[in-house]
Amino acid sequence: MNSATAEPLLNNENHRVEENVKAVSVVREFGEESKRLWRIAGPAIMTAIFQYSLGAITQTFAGLVSEIDLAAVSIENSVIAGFSYGVMLGMGSALETLCGQAFGAGQLRMLGVYMQRSWVILLTTACIIVPVYVFSTPILELVGETTEISEAAGKFALWMLPQLFAYAMNFPIQKFLQAQRKVLVITWVSGIVLVLHVFFSWLLILKLGWGLTGAAIVLNGSWWLVIIGQLLYIFITKSDGAWTGFTWLAFADLWGFVKLSLASAVMLCLEFWYLMVLILITGRLPNSLIAVDAVSVCLNIQGWDAMIAIGFNAAISVRVSNELGAGKPREAKLAVMVVSVTSITIGIVCMAVVLATKDYWPYLFTSSDAVAEETTKIAVLLAVTVALNSLQPVLSGVAVGAGWQHIVAYINIGCYYIVGLPAGILLGFTLGLGVMGLWGGMLGGICLQTLILIVITSITNWNKEAAAAETRVKEWGGAIADQ
């Protein structure tokens, strides 16, 4: 073989070797990033499941007592507590951007000050929300709930006021720890509290027959135990220097912090409130008690599945904010790709599980055949929702990590309230499809929102986002650094 013939063959062989090396490199990078994500996402998923289970288990025990107790706890969890949960989680998520990027930039002391500022803002907000709990009965009647359900839910809401202030304390603590990747601490605390919660729920609600009173005592107590456990860890360990004690700096630059917190709150609240609106509208359907209970059971299942997505939401928020804060845009982009592939795969598996067990899982939440039958009818739409919700919260986590909260807020308004809600009312009431129609409208809104977030994430210039993160850390940390 002459040199003229051998040279192209040698070039082709070298090209194949280079492609194989690149492929191996991509696979290795994917695997390494996947490990980093799972180290955060695994404990975050377990934490989300444990903390969500507190309300879900209370709802389950209430359903074993009576249909009206189930409806009362469901309405309070989904509407009243759901409203405050969305506000507090949303406002607290400002810390995901600020703490995550500050940690990536090595500015540890800023984290403790940020958490205290968030406490000030969230506790003030909790005081403003108190009248919603106090006047929940007339509010629920005003939006169309039956008097029986409204009175039961309103009484339970009054007893759940301590949980409102627990939310205000808990979410800043969690974002503070998550930004430092100290997620195992939250998981252990939440897991231990959950075990206690199950025992005392059985004891007070069923064994002693305290009903809704026992449910309120146990649920409030469990949330405050979570907070106490986390605070003890922070105060004792000093969180590697991120906690340096209480400081008056917590009251500095509050207005700027409020604006970022409000943007975060609007972004997440629009999603949480849509579910609240869904269950309220369901109460206006014929045979409302059965319809509300069926939707509540489906939302419960969706909530359990959403804990996986919330875990990845926390993980990708930490990864993106940390890498952007450290000035590493390529690593941030890789993290987004890895978490998207992983969450979609898990979503498909969860969808299959929901479809395969649709005749059985309703009886985990109710002893009523009528409620179980209505729930099974919605199972197909629920399965599709579960698949979509595997990716959508993850993309929202990318937005939080990068600081795009205000953009996603506008997207949520359009998708949920301009498209999803009118479509659900049209299908559910005008076309007479009932619960199926209402859920179908929500599904359409989620579909549209997910597609828009995919497009935005795909065209993002990560170099610009890294530069913006550097500017944000300098701007927000100036006063603290001066001290």
Q: What is the pLDDT of residues 229-282, one digit of tens each?
A: 999 999 998 877 788 888 888 787 777 777 777 777 777 777 767 776 777 788
Are the beta carbons of 57 and 198 closer than 8 angstroms?
A: yes
Between 480 and 469, where is the model more confident? Answer: 469
Q: Is the pLDDT of residue 128 over 90?
A: yes
Mean pLDDT for the chain overall: 83
Q: What is the mean pLDDT of residues 429-441?
A: 84
Report the chain's terminal Cα–Cα distance, integer Å: 75
The pLDDT score that the predictor gives to residue 403 is: 75
Residue 114 pLDDT level (bands cut at 50, 70, 90): confident
* Cβ-proximal residues to 35 (8 Å cutoff; 6+ apart), any chain: none
Per residue in 203-223, is it b (16+ CB within 10 Å) or e — as a string?
ebbeeeebbbebbbbbbbbbb
Determine the pLDDT at residue 356: 87
Q: How many CB atoms lie under 10 A from the CB of residue 369?
A: 10
CA–CA separation, 104 vs 110, rounded Å? Answer: 12
Domain residue spans of the chain: 42-482
Residue 3: the pLDDT is 55
The alpha carbon of 183 is separated from its chain's Cα centroid by a whole number of angstroms, namely 15
Separation of alpha carbons 99 and 94, rounded Å: 8
Residue 209 in 3-state DSSP? coil
Q: Which tokens go with 35?
A: 């490990």
Please provide residue 327's backbone torsions phi and psi, each rounded to the nearest 5 degrees.
75, 40
Model-level pTM? 0.78
CA dist 268 → 5, 41, 87, 261, 273 (Å): 64, 20, 8, 11, 9
Closest CA to 413 of 294, 280, 268, 233: 268
Q: What is the mean pLDDT of residues 376-383?
A: 85
In the chain, how many H helices and how many E strands?
A: 20, 0
Tell me: pLDDT of 316 over 80: yes
pLDDT in tens, 327-357: 888 888 888 888 888 888 988 998 898 888 8
DSSP string across 407-433: HHHHHHIIIIIIIIHHHHHIIIIIS--
Residue with token string 């949520």: 412
> Which range, 124-133, 134-143, 353-362, has the best average confidence (pLDDT)?
124-133
How far apart are alpha carbons 97 and 260 in whole angstroms? 10
Dump pLDDT digits (tens) for 2-28.
555 555 655 666 556 556 556 667 788
Residue 481 confidence (pLDDT) above 50: no
- pLDDT for 24: 67
- Kindly report, residue by residue over 23-53, the tens digit of the pLDDT: 667 788 888 888 888 888 889 889 888 988 8
